[in-house]
Structure 1
Amino acid sequence: MSTTSEPQQSQLSVTLPIATQNSPIAYGFGSFGLESLYIVFAGFYMFYYIDELGLAVAMAAIINTIYAIWDAVNDPILGFLSDNTRTRWGRRRPWLLTGLPFYVGILVLVYAVPKPFLQGNALFWYALVIFFLFEGARTIMSINYTALFPELFQDFRERTRASSYYQGLGTFGELIGFVIPPFIYAKFGFVPMAISFAGIAGIALFMGITRNKEDPKALKAPPLDLKDAFGEVLKDRPFLWFTIAVTFIMFTTGVYSLATPFWVKYTLAASPQVISLIFAIVFIGAILSVSIWGRLVRVLGIKRSWLWSVGVMAASAMILGLASNLVVGAIGAAAAGISLGGIKVCREIIMANFIDRNLKRTGHRREGVYYSLLHVSGKLSKILESLGLVLLGLLFGYVSGENPGPQPENAFRFLISVFPLVFTIIAWLIASRLSFENKQAEAHP
């Protein structure tokens, strides 16, 4: 496993300071919309289809695996197309404005299942198709929006500030996306829940897209062919190792999201409102810790900050596994939230450093390719989630909400703790061998 030092920070725009051109706060509001909408999908779709509609967990695992493979394929393709787009409106904005209505509209269709599809194999096929469509829209939005970050904010201090807004408001969006839906669907149903979030998230995303402007100099670079676009990135071994570590981290956060409604219901034997409380603790902890992690990055450096955040995530898995009451569960949730804040802040800075180094070496910007490959890691983590669901059936006899087996409380205690602990330890060990620092960029005033 090789190590590398990071390159000097790029400066594409020299006519005006970046801070006066683009708004970190507006970019953060876009992150709020992007993440809150996705969490309304990712946090509840499995619970809705398995426990509410009666889809067998084995069928859900098959869908999740196929969905992850499709996701892993379309991310690099769309990243490549985005990097090579040349219009007078920029590279990313046309994709974002076109994808936005599909992103918000398909979320509603995820929960508005027509009656003819509510039974048997029809539910399986409906879920498979609608998840595919939602993922396509999500990929268009997430790849293009995250790829804006290194271009909009190019100075190290400005990146640290922008990352805090981006991750803070994005995490607040996740908080809202996890905490509010149980209250809405308990009283009004899942469809009104989806419609309300589609409207709010759509407005926030539109603000983030239209307020910030891409650097026009990026349009002057000639488009790259497929080999040149991906070949240089795939030579970046530290980045590839980093994506493996991120895969394991994303698996852990994905398991937390997927397992929490079940864990609250079966392991803690608590009401649905406790689901909201647990998610609130996680994301309030993340939001409150974001600014602290931003300061720690300046003091400890990016690598040590990343390792600390991953270490706290491992500790949270142990606490959640031991929890048999709400108090201990809340402590584990708080630890998970603090860790999440650090991981989010550090990840954006690490990615910007990788992209800067590639720009210095090749003279081309490949944000879309870099972020698409990073997103692949998150999508491949869903395959691990599917294996976890299959193991629940094999080890504990859990089939669905209609047939939970003899030990559902132990099944979800296992899911929420054992896998996350193992994979966060592996992620920590991988990251400990890499260098993420960008000494020259961090020396900028």
Structure 2
Amino acid sequence: MLETLSKDGSYISSNKRTSPFRYAVGMLGTSIPINLLRTYAAIYCIDQIGITSTQFSMILFIYTIVDVLNIFWFGFLSDRTRTRWGRRKPWLIISTPLLVVSLICFFSGDAFENKLLLMCYLGGFYVLTTSLDLIINLNYGSLFPELFPENQMRIKTNVLRQAFQIAAMAISIALTPILTEHLGYFSVAVIYGILAWVIIWFCTFGCYENPERQKDPDFGLINSFLTIVKEKNLWFYGVSTAFYSISFSMFMQSMPFFIKYALHLGPSATSLIFFGVLTVTVIGMLFWGRVSSAISALNVLRTATIIIFIGFLLMAFSSSLSSLALFSCLIGFGISGVMASSDIVGANLIDRGYENHGKRLEGVYSSFFNLMYRVNGIFIGFAFFLVENLYHFSSGSSPGTVPDQASKFLFVFFPLAAIIVSLVMTFLISEGHKEQNR
């Protein structure tokens, strides 16, 4: 069996190599369902269906606990999988249709009248959908450092991959308010689910893993876990990622609340702002892609996080649609820099770990990255809990006396505090070995 590197930095195996486009387009499919769920679950559950902010915070708390309990098992089992199709492909093939069904079921919750039963139903399918999304993204992410081991190719592939993520955001975030206004959330979930299914399978069947990775010796779960938790840089990177994700998630989830309750505008304004942010993000990706070739990915990450911090700081003074658009686009430009650099930093940390301990643990590393990213559910749930207790914003039918202040707390002040923590952590990560072509 011939295994070598092609000129573009991907593995050639049995005269087959993975096309960067074929791999990168998978980000479009993996991002659409979870973007829909994470961005619109709050407004759907609280404003449309009528469960309380506290009940929704409980759903987020439970989902986070389940993720924490499962996440290292998923990565460990992925690393130990041995099939003729590779380690990651079977997980992607099986989990995708299950994710689609679970997503559709979640957005069918309006059939229940009993609020407690409704909360249990929504909570169950929220947990199931996010768990399946975890399996898919963990295995998809684990393929990245394996399929493209050369640094310059990683940069190019990641820019292409993040471009597809932005396209997914345009579909599942910016376009959704318009579509749901005419079709409803259930129909939109069906359309997005089927689209994601086709794209993920198209990506999966075009990825060719390196067979030599399956010959590496197995390591026990505890041994694998202890190997990576000793790495300080991994913790700094993980905490930075976690608090960035809190800031980003609150920015996306609470924008519909801010536009409705602070600016008193409709869904079309939400779509307009999201499209503006995504347009700037696309342009930003082209800029940061070039910058990443000149300076280290870690410095790009730090610079982009500073820009996001400035954007939220200015957003505190936003009181009109025009100022909201301007400051949101600044945040979007910073987000594009994080998107262009964060995965490169993570892949380099995986490489550094292999140089230190000689173990192929991409799945366990991806589990750790996903864990740090997904603990945001606890903090986001805490934010909604605070909104109900501080501002008495319970639901769309009971928004309290100062819903504008409540929405600004969710949209500006909470994510501002999170991005400050993320920024500090980026400066604690050390460069380590020089990023270079290998």
TM-score normalized by structure 2? 0.95
* 2:287 corresponds to which of 270, 288, 292: 292
Matching residue of 1:14: 4
The superposition leaves residues 224-275 of structure 1 with CA deviations (integer Å, 9 ceiling, x where unpaired) of 1112211111111111121111111010011112211111101111111111
Distance in 1 separating the partners of 2:411 and 2:175: 22
Paired amino acid for 1:317: F
2:185 is the counterpart of 1:190: yes
- Change in CA separation of 1:40 and 1:212 when aligned onto 2, cut-off 3 Å: same
Paired amino acid for 2:66: W
Matching residue of 1:5: none
1:15 Cα deviation from its structure 2 partner: 5.3
Distance in 1 separating the partners of 2:153 and 2:18: 10
1:191 Cα deviation from its structure 2 partner: 0.9
* 1:64 corresponds to which of 60, 67, 84: 60
* 1:355 corresponds to which of 336, 350, 353: 350
Matching residue of 1:26: 22
* 2:396 corresponds to which of 391, 397, 401: 401
Contact 1:314 1:420 in 2 (8 A): no
2:132 is the counterpart of 1:137: yes
Distance in 2 separating the partners of 1:209 and 1:113: 31
Distance in 2 separating the partners of 1:286 and 1:307: 17
2:304 is the counterpart of 1:314: no
Matching residue of 1:390: 385
Distance in 2 separating the partners of 1:238 and 1:426: 15
Matching residue of 2:108: 112
Distance in 2 separating the partners of 1:225 and 1:405: 52
Distance in 2 separating the partners of 1:34 and 1:403: 35
Distance in 2 separating the partners of 1:366 and 1:123: 40
Paired amino acid for 1:99: S
Three-state SS of the structure 2 residue aligned to 1:345 is helix
TM-score normalized by structure 1? 0.94
2:69 is the counterpart of 1:37: no
1:291 Cα deviation from its structure 2 partner: 2.2
Three-state SS of the structure 1 residue aligned to 2:25 is helix
The superposition leaves residues 187-213 of structure 1 with CA deviations (integer Å, 9 ceiling, x where unpaired) of 111111111111111111111111111
Aligned residue pairs total 431
Paired amino acid for 2:377: K
1:303 Cα deviation from its structure 2 partner: 2.2
1:163 Cα deviation from its structure 2 partner: 0.6
Paired amino acid for 2:354: L
Distance in 2 separating the partners of 1:109 and 1:34: 18
Paired amino acid for 1:326: L
Matching residue of 1:73: 69
2:436 is the counterpart of 1:442: yes
Matching residue of 2:86: 90
1:419 Cα deviation from its structure 2 partner: 1.7
What value does the CA root-mean-square deviation take over the aligned residues?
A: 1.5
Q: After the TM superposition, which segments of 4 or more aligned residues of structure 1 sit over 4 Å from their partners?
A: none
* 2:95 corresponds to which of 82, 92, 99: 99
1:411 Cα deviation from its structure 2 partner: 0.9
- Change in CA separation of 1:272 and 1:15 when aligned onto 2, cut-off 3 Å: closer
Paired amino acid for 1:432: F
Distance in 2 separating the partners of 1:271 and 1:216: 53
2:60 is the counterpart of 1:54: no
Contact 2:177 2:267 in 1 (8 A): yes
Contact 2:88 2:139 in 1 (8 A): yes
Matching residue of 1:249: 244
1:61 Cα deviation from its structure 2 partner: 0.8
2:352 is the counterpart of 1:341: no
Contact 1:69 1:379 in 2 (8 A): no
Matching residue of 1:7: none
1:128 Cα deviation from its structure 2 partner: 1.3
Specify which structure has the bigger relative contact order, considering alpha-carbon pairs within 8 angstroms and separated by 6 or more residues. Answer: 1
The superposition leaves residues 337-392 of structure 1 with CA deviations (integer Å, 9 ceiling, x where unpaired) of 11111111111111111111111222221111111111111221111111111111
Three-state SS of the structure 1 residue aligned to 2:316 is helix
Matching residue of 2:270: 275
Contact 1:160 1:294 in 2 (8 A): yes
Identity of aligned residues (%): 26
Three-state SS of the structure 2 residue aligned to 1:322 is coil
1:319 Cα deviation from its structure 2 partner: 2.7
Three-state SS of the structure 1 residue aligned to 2:50 is coil
1:182 Cα deviation from its structure 2 partner: 1.2
Contact 1:319 1:328 in 2 (8 A): no
Distance in 2 separating the partners of 1:23 and 1:410: 49
1:91 Cα deviation from its structure 2 partner: 0.3
Contact 1:321 1:416 in 2 (8 A): no
- Change in CA separation of 1:443 and 1:217 when aligned onto 2, cut-off 3 Å: closer
1:437 Cα deviation from its structure 2 partner: 5.3
